[in-house]
C-alpha cells in the first residue's frame, strides 16, 4: 500500500511540474510575441550654418524599428549640457538656445503614424531673425509617442527621441579653448586600459576635439591598440568643458606597453607618452613578497658575515694576547737563570 502511494505521489508531482513548465513556457512565449514600440530618429545630429534674416529648411527621419505602429508628434526644445560628462538638458534656456524658438514644422509631417519597419521624413524650417547673435545655437528636434495605452489607464508610457541641431551663425565668432587634461595612467591592476581627456571651449561657437590613441608592446613596433584610422572626435559647445574616455577593452591581464595619446583642440596639440604596466594585484603581492624575502636574505647574510668576521677577529686577538703572554713568561725565566 505504501509503495502504491509513493508511485501515485510521484506521478502527481511530475504532472504538476510539467504543467507548471507548460504554463511558464506559454507565458514567456506570449510575452515574446507581445508587440513592442521602438522609435528612433536619423541622423542623431546635424550641423548647419544659418545667416541672420535667412531661412533654412531641413529634415530628419522618424523610424519605427519595433513591432507595433505608433503615432508621433514633432517639436523643438532647447539643448544644453549640465556637466563635463555632457548630461543633456532640454529645458534650460540661454543665448545659445534661442534657435528653439525659430523652428517650425511642416504641418503634414509634424504628426503622423508610422508602421513597423517604416519611416517618415519630418520637415522643419529655421527662420533666423535679423538680430540673431553670432556664434552657436543649439536645439533638439524631438519625436514623441505614447505606447498606445488606453486613455483611461493610470500610467501612460511615453517614448521620446531627438536629433541634436548644432547651428553656426556667422559674425564675430571666437574659436578659443584649452586642453585641460590629457591623462594616460601608468599602472593598471586589470584590464580594460583607459585614457582620458578634458577640454574647455572658451569661445562662442562649437569646436571639435580630435583624440588619437596608440598603444604598443614595449619591445614591438606592432600596435596593440590604435584608433589612428578613426580618431575620436567630440563636439564641445561654447563655455563648456567636456570629458572623454578612450578604452582598450581587449587589453591583456599582464604586460608592459608604451602608450601615446594626442589631443588636438582649438589650434592646440598636446602629446602624452607613458609606459603602461598591467599587473594583477595578487601577482604584485607575490613580487613584493619575493623582493622582501630576497632583501631579508641578503641582509641576514651580511649580518652573519659580520658576526663571523667579529668572532674571528676576537679569536685572533685572543691568540695574539696568549702568545704575547707566553713570550713574556719565557723572557722572565731566561733572566732569572
pLDDT along the chain (337 residues), means of 10: 44 36 34 72 97 97 95 97 97 97 97 96 98 97 75 64 97 97 95 96 98 94 94 98 96 95 98 94 83 90 83 67 57 51
Instruction: Give the helix, strand, coil percentages of the chain, each rounded to 5.
Output: 30, 40, 30
In the prediction, which pLDDT does 285 show? 81
In the prediction, which pLDDT does 220 show? 87
Q: How does DSSP classify residue 87?
A: -
Domain 177-281 class in CATH: mainly beta
pLDDT tens-digit series, residues 147-179: 554 455 455 677 899 999 999 999 999 999 999
Return the C-alpha cell found at 109: 509631417
Strands laid side by side in the 240-248 sheet: 177-184, 193-201, 240-248
- How far out from the chain centre does Cα 125 lie? 36
In the prediction, which pLDDT does 323 show? 59
The domain segmentation of the chain, as residue ranges, is 39-169, 177-281
In the prediction, which pLDDT does 28 show? 39
pTM: 0.74
Identical fold between 39-169 and 177-281:
yes
Closest CA to 125 of 186, 183, 78, 55: 55
Strands 187-188 and 268-278: parallel
In the prediction, which pLDDT does 312 show? 73
Q: Backbone phi, then psi, for 186, in 5-degree steps?
A: -95, -20
Closest CA to 245 of 207, 314, 199: 199
- The CATH number of 39-169 is 2.60.40.10
- How far out from the chain centre does Cα 278 lie? 18
In the prediction, which pLDDT does 18 show? 34
DSSP-derived secondary structure for 10-48: HHHHHHHHHHHHHHHHHHHHHHHHS----EEEE-SEEEE
CB 146 within 8 A of CB 158: yes
Amino acid at each position: 500500500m505504501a509503495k502504491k502511494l509513493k508511485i501515485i505521489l510521484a506521478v502527481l508531482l511530475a504532472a504538476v511540474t510539467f504543467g507548471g513548465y507548460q504554463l511558464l513556457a506559454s507565458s514567456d512565449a506570449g510575452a515574446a510575441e507581445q508587440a513592442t514600440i521602438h522609435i528612433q530618429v536619423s541622423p542623431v545630429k546635424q550641423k548647419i550654418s544659418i545667416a541672420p534674416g535667412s531661412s533654412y529648411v531641413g529634415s530628419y527621419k522618424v523610424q519605427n524599428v519595433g513591432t507595433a505602429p505608433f503615432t508621433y508628434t514633432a517639436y523643438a526644445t532647447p539643448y544644453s549640457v549640465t556637466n563635463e560628462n555632457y548630461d543633456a538638458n532640454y529645458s534650460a534656456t540661454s543665448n545659445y538656445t534661442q534657435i528653439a524658438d525659430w523652428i517650425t514644422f511642416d504641418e503634414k509631417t509634424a504628426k503622423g503614424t508610422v508602421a513597423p519597419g517604416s519611416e517618415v521624413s519630418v520637415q522643419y524650417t529655421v527662420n533666423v531673425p535679423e538680430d540673431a547673435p553670432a556664434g552657436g545655437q543649439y536645439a533638439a528636434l524631438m519625436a514623441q509617442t505614447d505606447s498606445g495605452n488606453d486613455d483611461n489607464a493610470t500610467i501612460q508610457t511615453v517614448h521620446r527621441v531627438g536629433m541634436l541641431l548644432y547651428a553656426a551663425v556667422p559674425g564675430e565668432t571666437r574659436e578659443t579653448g584649452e586642453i585641460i587634461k590629457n591623462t594616460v595612467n601608468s599602472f593598471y591592476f586589470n584590464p580594460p586600459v583607459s585614457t582620458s581627456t578634458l577640454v574647455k571651449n572658451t569661445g562662442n561657437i562649437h569646436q571639435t576635439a580630435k583624440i588619437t590613441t596608440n598603444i604598443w608592446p614595449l619591445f614591438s613596433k606592432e600596435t596593440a591598440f590604435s584608433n589612428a584610422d578613426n580618431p575620436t572626435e567630440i563636439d564641445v559647445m561654447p563655455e563648456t568643458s567636456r570629458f572623454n574616455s578612450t578604452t582598450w577593452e581587449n587589453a591583456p591581464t599582464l604586460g608592459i606597453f608604451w602608450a601615446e595619446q594626442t589631443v588636438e583642440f582649438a589650434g592646440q596639440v598636446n602629446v602624452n607618452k607613458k609606459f603602461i604596466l598591467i599587473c594583477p594585484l595578487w601577482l604584485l603581492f607575490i613580487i613584493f613578497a619575493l623582493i622582501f624575502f630576497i632583501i631579508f636574505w641578503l641582509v641576514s647574510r651580511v649580518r652573519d658575515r659580520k658576526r663571523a668576521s667579529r668572532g674571528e677577529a676576537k679569536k685572533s686577538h685572543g691568540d695574539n694576547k696568549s702568545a704575547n703572554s707566553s713570550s713574556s713568561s719565557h723572557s722572565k725565566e731566561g733572566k732569572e737563570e
